[in-house]
Amino acid sequence: MTLADLSRSEVIKIIALQGDNPKGVTLRGVDLRELDLHGLSLAEVNLTLANLSSANLTQVDLSKANLAMANLSFADLSEATLRGASLKEACLAGADLRSADLSEADLSKADLRGANLRGADLRRANLWHADLTEANLIYANLEGAKGLPLNLEEWLKDKT
């Protein structure tokens, strides 16, 4: 049996049992969609292929977490900390990332269509081949970010 086979309530219990230090926990492929995880620390947790669509992840610490190929579509990640996180090929379509810290995050090949990145910190983030169609990057800090689109001024228009 893998964590992906556990019920959502069992997964929540596992997270809760980790207390303030869940570092190194593997939750690969788990279904956490629509859950309220507000304010939790999930730093350095492996959430590869996890389903977190429409989850409340406001102010969650996901520093250095592995979210490669995870589904975070329409998740609320406002004010979340994703510093140094791996979001390679993750789906963040329609996600709310207002004022999120994505500094040094790897967003290569991520789907950010329609994501709200207003005021997000993307310093030194990797955006190679990320889909930023209709994304709101107004007031985002893009200093040192890699892979920015050539028509950056289009992405920086206020779309609210």
Is residue 148 packed enough to be buried (19+ CB in 10 Å), middle (13-18) or exposed (0-12)? middle
What digits encode the pLDDT tens for the residues 121-143? Answer: 999 999 999 999 999 999 999 99
pLDDT, residue 1, reads 42
- Quick check: helix, strand or coil at residue 47? coil
Q: How many CB atoms lie within 10 A of CB 18?
A: 16
Q: Which of the two residues, 13 and 105, has the higher pLDDT score? A: 105
Entry pTM: 0.86
Fold classification of 1-160 is Pectate Lyase C-like (2.160.20)
What residue segments make up the domains of the chain, in order of their start?
1-160
Residue 56 has pLDDT above 60, yes or no: yes
- Which segments of 16-98 are extended strands (E)? none
